[in-house]
Structure 1
Amino acid sequence: MVGYNVRGQVSEARSRLLATATRIFYAEGLHSVGIDRVVAEAKVTRATLYRHFKSKDELVVAYLRSVAGMERDQVEQARTAGGTAADVLRAVAGSIAAGISSAGFRGCAFLNAAAEYPDPAHPVLRTVLDHREWFLRTVTDLFAQLDERSAASAGRHFVMLRDGAMAAGCLTDATEVGETFRAGVEGLLRASAT
């Protein structure tokens, strides 16, 4: 398998390439960072990069899938912590608010990628849309545990609040944005409880 060693483990070079790409793609944008930069900062050869990723687009997709995996892990941690669906939604909102307030925050990796890759047939945008569909389905399912009738609307509102918070967090006081986002989620939870 490409990117794995003989023991079936992810190769160290692949991990280093992905970590490097993740850091600079998020900080500087996808189109503005070239393969030569990733190769130089990961301290590998171009041949090593292309052994693990057939193209820059494949590396970008791997980066987005890695970010998606981290977000899925955050949701799973919230679920396994116990509590009600409302508690899980609050924990997810808290995680998002904390991310917005973190050093180096530059918006949503998926919204940023969608802006750079608008073609609906492109694998990068398909990866973005797949993750977005998962996230919407996940929060909608959680809202359905509170009130089946309003779950679809509440899920869409949660995602829209998140999107707005991600954009505003780059432009204004991130702490205030995080608090406003959490307050908006509390409003959705109150509406779902009635």
Structure 2
Amino acid sequence: MSKTEGVSAPVRRSAARDRLLVTASRLFYCEGIRGVGVDRVMAEADVARGTFYRHFDGKDDLVRAYLEAADRKIRESVTAAAEEIPSPAGFLAAVAHGIGDEVCGAGFRGCPFINAAAEYPDPASVIHRAVLRHRAWFRGVLVDAFRRLGATSPEQSADSMVALRDGAMVAGYLGDAQAASAVLQHGVTALVAAR
């Protein structure tokens, strides 16, 4: 299976690859994926074309790597919160606060996964599939937390929290970030209380 078919090949680490990924991540997030070409990424990362293609099959592969790096960062943060906060209610509140902090952060331009899905709507796209894998994982974490909380319908509660998160991400970018964060946290508090 190739790197672009949903399962990444082992990553060859190098300083050049790291520069490409850091540069691409910054540009894709700030300016949009379709609006940034690989020539610009290579130029700003100071990496030759041959080096780029030793690490990535092409732009879609680079975009997939960008999303997987964002996914890893979120997974690490959520895992750390789960280890620090044994209470499912406390964990869910911490996740909501973390998302709220992100929404209110400097340079926030929305959710990288929602943004990528908007630019790559084809469900067969390697990029769209990377978005769906991330969302499925996140939903699974929430289902587990609501199940441990004793929620009557952990799946529905998780779906509600995902919808609140998505709304906060969009509202935080387009409008008042503080208000979007407060609405998210209020909604999650209500979900936890309703069980």
Q: TM-score range by the shorter chain?
A: over 0.9
2:86 is aligned to 83
Separation in structure 2 between the aligned mates of residue 109 and residue 72 of structure 1, nearest angstrom = 14
- Of residues 149, 152, 163, the one that matches 1:149 is 152
Scaled by the length of structure 2, the TM-score of the pair is: 0.93
- Of residues 91, 95, 106, the one that matches 1:92 is 95
After superposition, the C-alpha distances for 1:116-167 in whole angstroms (9 at most, x for unaligned) are 0011111000000011111111101100001252211100000000000000
Separation in structure 1 between the aligned mates of residue 49 and residue 182 of structure 2, nearest angstrom = 44
After superposition, the C-alpha distances for 1:84-139 in whole angstroms (9 at most, x for unaligned) are 01111111111100000001100010000000001111100000001111111110
Separation in structure 1 between the aligned mates of residue 129 and residue 90 of structure 2, nearest angstrom = 31
1:39 is aligned to 42
Distance 1:12 1:3, change over 3 A: farther
Deviation at 1:74, TM superposition (A): 1.1
Distance 1:52 1:25, change over 3 A: same
List aligned pairs for 1:1-194, cutoff 5 A.
3-4=11-12, 10-192=13-195
| Contact 1:61–1:124 (Cα < 8 Å) also in 2 | yes
* CA RMSD across the alignment: 1.2
Matched letter for residue 20 of structure 1: T
Matched letter for residue 164 of structure 2: L
| Contact 1:2–1:52 (Cα < 8 Å) also in 2 | no
Deviation at 1:82, TM superposition (A): 2.8
Separation in structure 2 between the aligned mates of residue 121 and residue 32 of structure 1, nearest angstrom = 21
After superposition, the C-alpha distances for 1:15-72 in whole angstroms (9 at most, x for unaligned) are 1110000001000001000011100110111111111001100000000000001110
- Over the matched positions of the two proteins, sequence identity in percent amounts to 47
Instruction: List runs of 5+ in structure 2 lacking aligned partners.
Output: 1-8
Deviates most, 78-87 or 152-161: 78-87
SS in 1 for 2:153: helix
Separation in structure 1 between the aligned mates of residue 115 and residue 108 of structure 2, nearest angstrom = 12
1:7 is aligned to none
Separation in structure 2 between the aligned mates of residue 169 and residue 123 of structure 1, nearest angstrom = 27
Instruction: List runs of 5+ in structure 1 lacking aligned partners.
Output: 5-9
Q: Which runs of 4+ in 1 moved over 6 A?
A: none
Separation in structure 1 between the aligned mates of residue 23 and residue 156 of structure 2, nearest angstrom = 38
SS in 1 for 2:35: coil
| Contact 2:151–2:157 (Cα < 8 Å) also in 1 | no
